[in-house]
Amino acid sequence: MPWKQRLYGIFAFDYNYYFMDSISIKILKELQKNARLSFAEMGRNVGLSAPAVAERVQKMEEQGIIEGYGVRINLEKAGFPIQAQITIKTATHDFKRFISKLDNFPEVFDCVKVTGEHCAFLKVAVKNNQHLEDLIDRLTEYGHPNTSIILSSYTQNPAIE
């Protein structure tokens, strides 16, 4: 994306950049609590009109600050009562191959590449212990998995504070 810049003395201003002020942060907090709120209700909560809220949300979407909208799923109630974190250590070529085959692992709901001893952290949800064992067996084709069962989670989706 080309930047439209105008120089005033030594300062450069990017007119494609959306400035996050306290009202925009309040809007993000409202969306994080309930993305289905109407712009009118959000406006009442943050002290703006519905059109002003809609304009700010649209600008944040255009800038990529808001990447999309989703739903939080209770994995246990959805039939996946066991969640685990699996670290995997692979050879470089195996990691690239693993990432290209990630769609073959529907149990994986989060995968991040990391530095250090391991290559990636996976968060998985499975139906039972046998399902977890089968998943681990399938992962060994790509490297050495190390599994920890998640007993409790004290955080949810990342939130703007």
Q: Which two tokens stand for residue 44?
A: 């009442």
Query: Is the domain defined by 5-62 classed in CATH 3.40.50.2300?
Result: no
CATH class of 82-149: alpha beta
The answer to whether residue 4 scores a pLDDT higher than 60 is: no
pLDDT band at 160 (very low <50, low <70, confident <90, very high): low
> For position 159, what pLDDT does the model report?
61
Q: pLDDT > 90: what percent of the chain? A: 69
> For position 153, what pLDDT does the model report?
85
E strands in the chain: 5-8, 11-14, 82-89, 108-113, 120-126, 144-149
- Per-residue pLDDT tens for 91-132? 877 888 999 999 999 999 999 999 988 999 999 999 999 999
Radius of gyration of the chain (CA): 21
| Residue at token pair 């490297």 | 143
Amino acid at site 70: G
Q: Look up the pTM and report it.
A: 0.71
Lowest mean pLDDT among 3-7, 85-89, 149-153: 3-7
Cα–Cα distance measured from residue 144 to residue 54, given in angstroms and rounded to the nearest whole number: 48
Based on DSSP, count helices (H) and strands (E) in the chain, helices before strands.
5, 6
> For position 142, what pLDDT does the model report?
93
- Per-residue pLDDT tens for 28-53? 999 998 999 999 999 999 999 999 99
The answer to whether residue 151 scores a pLDDT higher than 90 is: yes
**Is the CB of residue 111 less than 8 Å from the CB of residue 157?**
no
Amino acid at site 127: K
> For position 71, what pLDDT does the model report?
84
Enumerate the domain spans of the chain: 5-62, 82-149
**Is the CB of residue 27 less than 8 Å from the CB of residue 42?**
yes
> For position 11, what pLDDT does the model report?
46
> For position 2, what pLDDT does the model report?
40
The answer to whether residue 80 scores a pLDDT higher than 50 is: yes
Cα–Cα distance measured from residue 120 to residue 99, given in angstroms and rounded to the nearest whole number: 10
pLDDT band at 6 (very low <50, low <70, confident <90, very high): very low
